Amino acid sequence: MSNASLAIYLGESYAEIEARSGSNSILLKKTFFLPQTSLKSILNQHIKPLTAEHTISSVYIVTKYLDRLKSFRLGGSVIQVLNEHQENNYTFEDSTCLSLAAAALIIPLNKAFTLEHLKTELERVKKINAEANKVVISLSQFSEEQLTSIENFFIENKFSVFKNPEPDNLNSLRRTLINAGSEGTKEEIVSEIKACLGEPEIHFWVKNQFQKDFENIDLYFSADQFLHHSFKKNKKDLLIHTDLERWIVMKDKTSPVWKSPWGNVNYDHIESEAIGIHPFSEVKIHSSGHLVFSKVPAAIEPGPMLAGRSVKTLVVDAFYKTISKEENLVQLFPKLAENTLCSKIESQFKVLEKGQAHYEEPFDLKIIQDFIVNKLGYDILLHKVKEEKLEWTGHLNILFKKLDNAVSPFSWTAEIFKRI
């Protein structure tokens, strides 16, 4: 038995894994479109067989998986204990904001509460989600004694307790809820790795290094911190990152307040800005007959037509030919190897071309591709830096070879191994 290490990039919609032996030779390298599989099955199917000959002693993870909180909310496992009539507190600062946690898992309390009442409320929420095991307590105008009794009650019931240090401050409440929610997601990742590989040393990328100690350390911006460290190390001024999930520019600039989908959160983070058209924007015909890209990107499930299940045409589908020729990307979308899927995508773009009423020269697939590439190029231009100061990462950088013929295939896991 020889020692081996495993690198994992766990994104919102895709994962990349790579195992290397002690001598640094590649034992396995694969990418997966996550809605069609899970980390658990990837590990069991592809990594477990390696353990017959190798001991996976270390696992290194960079993640953007916690972004799933955006679409699924924290709902799953976090209970909130709030002052009565503050159940809708996510609307106080902006009535159009999304709720960060499930409304059904809120326990409203007034100062005359009893432990008996608390017990009944806990039974109620446990019926909604029996697996709930984290509680955020955010109560203002309660005595210290009352707060301690509430906290003890949840500890006795085997809950992890997260207290909002400033109960009147909704910004602080959002931060506490994100901590609690991401803790659950992190536990899920760790338990799946341990279930498959026993007790390897698990390291998450935190700020500028891999860390073994990640309890109560928030990993929300792990992937951004990793990218930032990478381009700073290479002494670049600007990073262009184009992968399946987002097309962004990143500068060496941090911001203390994160404008999250749930409202502002005091969260020091590296700023990034979306550029080009979102890769998951839907390409469709507007009611007045012209071609448009949807403002809101499509959900990652079922994803693009490339993945074989969607009927919606997304921006990334326009590049199916280039993608089908790239080994890494074909692994993400194995159904692309089937001619039927390529024909289906091609005919979908023909339908879009014919649907453009009023236009003598409707936009065909070639023009759509040109526009998407040029738009990204123009947006880079607006962040003008000296050419040699620009780094370009992300699997889909190869789609933009016309703009930068020096782009080379990008691999998260190869980058991870460089930093171990």
Partner 1 sequence: MFDNKSLQLASYGHLDYHYFQSFLNHFKNASLVNLNGELMFSRDSELCSTTTSRLVSYQIVKKYLKLNPGDIFITNDPENGGYSYSKVFFISALTENLFLIWSDDISQIQFKIPLSPLVEAHKKNSMLWSAMIDPHPQKAVMAQFFDEQIEHYTSCFRATPYLDFLSEPDFQQIWFKTCKDEFERQFDLRAQGQADLSLKYHDKLIKMGLGIEEKQNSRTITIDFSNTQFAEKMCAASHVIESAMIQEFVYHYKLHQFLSQPILNQIKLMMPPKSVVSKAHTTGEHNFELQGVIRQMLKHLLVQLSSNKKSEKFALKSEAQLNFIADSNVRAGFLLDESFALEDLTQFFKPTTMAMKENSYHGEYVVKGAGLTLDTFYLYSEFDHNKRFIKINQKSIKSGRHQLKENDQLSIHWKL
292 φ/ψ angles, rounded to the nearest 5 degrees: -135, 165
Phi/psi-derived region of residue 54, left when phi > 0, alpha when psi is between -120 and 50, beta in every other case: beta
8 A C-beta contact, residue 321 and residue 387: no
Length of the chain: 420
How many residues bind partner 1 (CB under 8 A)? The answer is: 53
- How many Å apart are CA 319 and CA 411, to the nearest integer? 19
Q: How far is the CB of 82 from partner 1 (least distance, A)?
A: 11
Write down the least CB distance from residue 81 to partner 1, Å.
16
Instruction: Identify which range of 52-60, 123-131, 281-289, 298-306 contacts partner 1 by CB under 8 A.
Output: 281-289
Instruction: Lay out the site mask for partner 1 across 212-241 (x = CB under 8 A, - = otherwise).
Output: ----------------------------x-
Q: Are 111 and 146 in contact (CB under 8 A)?
A: yes
Q: Which pair of tokens denotes residue 139?
A: 């109560």
Among 23, 95, 340, 408, binds partner 1 (CB under 8 A): 95
Kindly state the smallest distance separating residue 359's Cβ from partner 1, in Å.
8
Compute the least distance from the CB of residue 237 to partner 1, in Å. Answer: 12
Q: What's the rounded Cα separation, in Å, for the pair 407 and 415?
A: 15
Stretch that binds partner 1, among 4-12, 111-119, 285-293, 347-355 (CB under 8 A): 285-293
CB nearer partner 1, residue 309 or residue 366: 366
Per the structure block, which two tokens stand in for 352?
A: 């879009």
Per rule CB under 8 A, is residue 254 in the interface with partner 1?
no
**Tokens linked to 347:** 């005919």
Instruction: For 144-167, give the DSSP string.
Output: HHHHHHHHHHHHHTTPEEEE-S-T
Rounded distance, CA 97 to CA 99, Å?
Answer: 7
- Across 96-187, where does the E strand assignment appear? 106-109, 134-138, 160-163
241: β partners = 248, 393
User: How far apart (Å, rounded) are the C-alpha atoms in residues 95 and 72?
Assistant: 20
* Residue 89 within binding range of partner 1, rule CB under 8 A: yes
> Regarding beta strands 106-109 and 78-83, do their DSSP bridges make them parallel or antiparallel, or are they unpaired?
parallel
Pick the piece of the chain touching partner 1 (CB under 8 A) from 127-135, 205-213, 326-334, 373-381: 373-381
Does 113 participate in binding partner 1 (rule CB under 8 A)?
no
CB of 191 or CB of 374, closer to partner 1: 374
Region from 4-12, 15-23, 282-290, 299-307 binding partner 1, contact rule CB under 8 A? 282-290
> What is the spatial distance between Cα 10 and Cα 252, in angstroms, rounded to a whole number?
24
Residue 160 tokens, joined: 């992890």
Give the x-and-dash track for 319-358 against partner 1 (CB under 8 A). ---------------------------------------x
| Beta strands 54-63 and 78-83, pairing class | unpaired
| Candidates 68-76, 145-153, 200-208, 286-294; binding stretch for partner 1 (CB under 8 A) | 286-294
Q: How many whole angstroms separate alpha carbon 308 and alpha carbon 302? A: 8
Among 49, 165, 261, 289, binds partner 1 (CB under 8 A): 289
State the Cα–Cα distance between residues 354 and 331, nearest whole angstrom. Answer: 32
- Binding partner 1 (rule: CB under 8 A), the pick from 86, 348, 369, 411 is 86
Alpha carbons 186 and 176: distance in angstroms, whole number: 15
Kindly tell me which of 340 and 405 has the beta carbon lying closer to partner 1.
405
Question: Which residue's CB is nearer to partner 1, number 233 or number 259?
Answer: 259
Tokens of 254: 């941090």
* Residue 291 binding partner 1, by CB under 8 A: yes
Sole window of 19-27, 130-138, 169-177, 331-339 interacting with partner 1 (rule: CB under 8 A): 169-177
Within positions 376 to 405, which residues make up the interface with partner 1, using CB under 8 A? 377-384, 387-388, 390, 392, 402-405
At its nearest, how many Å lie between partner 1 and the CB of residue 193?
A: 38
Residue number, 197 or 407, with CB nearest to partner 1: 407
Q: Where are the beta strands (DSSP E) in 236-290?
A: 238-242, 247-260, 263-274, 283-285
In the complex, the residues that contact partner 1 under the rule CB under 8 A are 85-89, 91-96, 140, 166, 168-171, 240, 264, 273, 275, 277, 287-291, 293, 358-359, 363, 367, 370-371, 374-375, 377-384, 387-388, 390, 392, 402-406
